[in-house]
Amino acid sequence: MVGRWTFTLLCGLLAATLIQATLSPTAVLILGPKVIKEKLTQELKDHNATSILQQLPLLSAMREKPAGGIPVLGSLVNTILKHIIWLKVTTANILQLQVKPSANDHELLVKIPLDMVAGLNTPLVKTIVEFHMTTEAQAIVHMDTSASGPTRPVLSDCATSHGSLRIQLLHKLSFLVNALAKQVMNLLVPALPNLVKNQLCPVIEASFNGMYADLLQLVKVPISLSIDRLEFDLLYPAIKGDTIQLYLGAKLLDSQGKVTKWFNNSAASLTMPTLDNTPFSLILSQDVVKAAVAALSPEEFMVLLDSVLPEIAHRLKSSIGLINEEAADKLRSTQIVKILTQDTPEFFIDQGHAKVAQLIVLEVFPSSEALRPLFTLGIEASSEAQFYTKGDQLILNLNNISSDRIQLMNSGIGWFQPDVLKNIITEIILSILLPNQNGKLRSGVPVSLVKALGFEAAESSLTKDALVLTPASLGKTTSPVSQ
């Protein structure tokens, strides 16, 4: 029997290891003690845990196991119990939960302090005799790797912690009543821990299961990206230190709900930042973050340069004059600059800095009537990419732009070295292309997870290969350096 159990355990562990080895996460949600406590506290409320405490059958439990399990206490105890009309919990509170790492780094210790007042009604006195009772339920959260289902965290070994039970009389009365109260307290000492274990612990376990199910639903809420949407699926969970970590795969779906890209097999492992008392962290690999620029689909701009940017139009004419004076003289007040972006811009994260690279085709027409451009340039441009947040909206902003490489693709004014026009061309795309792209990006990406976890706003940071979202400081919203 032991051999079979050992074999099953090893198979479970091996299966979990193989899953983690073959499915590389592209996102990780790390939940710290604060989130776990608040979510579990809410689930306990939803499961009416305090009502369960108020309905504990104290009197019947005392009759079943009087004074520490001794079957017979004699006529004195029986007489005491006969003089009790009722004994019940009148008020109950669950105090602030504690979540700590256990001695095993892959387990959590959950402590649930209980505070109760019990009332005793006896014909020996007209007033209610009240007891103040405090104890603490403890449980372990560990990973269940059984073959019956996927690996998941479960709460088990729930019981009252040793030495946590305190019972005292709130108000002293007559000698006879005090003696009765003392005997009742002695009978409650063995009865109450058993009641907590049998009546409350199943509710605590159900609450934890409900909390975990809710968390899985939260991570599956789609994130809208222009006309597409990003969805996450759980690959596997883990417990590390005092956190629960959900390792996620991602997929991109079009407006019809068809999967257009899977992100599960990331080429590199994610760099995991330390939580540093942060309630939660959502870490997104750069493969997933690339989807944030999906709004920047290939597009075309045609601008009457002299009308929109007359100063730049004048400098462009002067720059062309250095190459070909005759061509510069052909430029009219209706001259047109046509800008065409090629494909979706590429997004990179390198050592904590984000960058967007894009291919641009730029053509200059001498007038609005001209059918052929004076020349066509191919431009490899790049911009610093900065993420900022507004509430739970994640927004990408492109700062500045540089023309890293310019090629002459076609020319009607003879061959020339395109770097001669580098400064003015950079200024044109900076003045025309960048504001348009930032305008499209300004709508942002809603991250509903932030508010679902109980926070009003988020802030972002970059590691060497990922974007990290954490709760914003109170009243804090990050802003871009420039728009």
pLDDT tens digits, one per residue of 410-445:
999 999 999 999 999 999 999 999 998 898 888 888
Query: If we measure between CA atoms, which residue out of 324, 318, 302 comes closest to residue 412?
Result: 324
- Report, as an integer, the average pLDDT of 366-370: 93
DSSP string, 202-219: HHHHHHHHHHHHHHHHHH
- Give 165-182 pLDDT, tens digit per residue: 999 988 887 787 788 888
Q: What is the DSSP letter of 384?
A: E
Winning range, highest mean pLDDT, from 45-54, 78-87, 143-152, 391-400 = 45-54
**H-assigned helices in 279-414:** 286-289, 305-308, 310-323, 325-329
Percentage of the chain surpassing pLDDT 90? 54
How far apart CA 311 and CA 309 sit, in angstroms, is 6
What pLDDT is stored for residue 245 in this prediction? Answer: 94
Number of helices followed by number of strands (H, E) in the chain: 13, 20
Residue bearing tokens 């020996």: 124
Residue, of 296 and 359, whose pLDDT is higher: 359
Position 192, amino acid: L
How far apart CA 347 and CA 441 sit, in angstroms, is 14
Of 108-112, 237-241, 259-263, 361-365, minimum mean pLDDT range: 259-263
Percentage of the chain surpassing pLDDT 70? 86
Q: What is the DSSP letter of 197?
A: I
Q: What are the phi and psi torsion angles at 201 (to 5°)?
A: -55, -40
Containing H/E element for 473? none
Q: What are the phi and psi torsion angles at 290 (to 5°)?
A: -55, -30
What pLDDT is stored for residue 295 in this prediction? Answer: 64
Q: What is the DSSP letter of 426?
A: H
What pLDDT is stored for residue 11 in this prediction? Answer: 42
- Whole-angstrom CA distances from 338 to 275, 320, 366, 382, 399 are 48, 16, 11, 19, 22
What pLDDT is stored for residue 23 in this prediction? Answer: 56
Query: If we measure between CA atoms, which residue out of 102, 375, 344 comes closest to residue 239?
Result: 102
- Report, as an integer, the average pLDDT of 84-108: 91
Alpha carbons within 13 A on the beta-carbon side of 99:
25
> With 0-12 CB in 10 A as exposed, 13-18 as middle and 19+ as buried, what is 451?
middle
Token pair recorded at residue 438: 């930032």
What pLDDT is stored for residue 18 in this prediction? Answer: 40
Q: Examine the pLDDT at 263 and tell me if it is beyond 90.
A: no
Token pair recorded at residue 389: 């947040």
What pLDDT is stored for residue 7 in this prediction? Answer: 38
Q: Examine the pLDDT at 75 and tell me if it is beyond 70.
A: no
Token pair recorded at residue 204: 């605590």
Residue, of 15 and 98, whose pLDDT is higher: 98
Query: If we measure between CA atoms, which residue out of 310, 328, 308, 326 comes closest to residue 318?
Result: 328
What pLDDT is stored for residue 14 in this prediction? Answer: 42
Sign, CA dihedral 341-343-345-348, equals negative
pTM higher than 0.85, yes or no? Answer: no
What pLDDT is stored for residue 1 in this prediction? Answer: 39
Q: Examine the pLDDT at 298 and tell me if it is beyond 90.
A: no
- Report, as an integer, the average pLDDT of 97-121: 92
Containing H/E element for 420? none
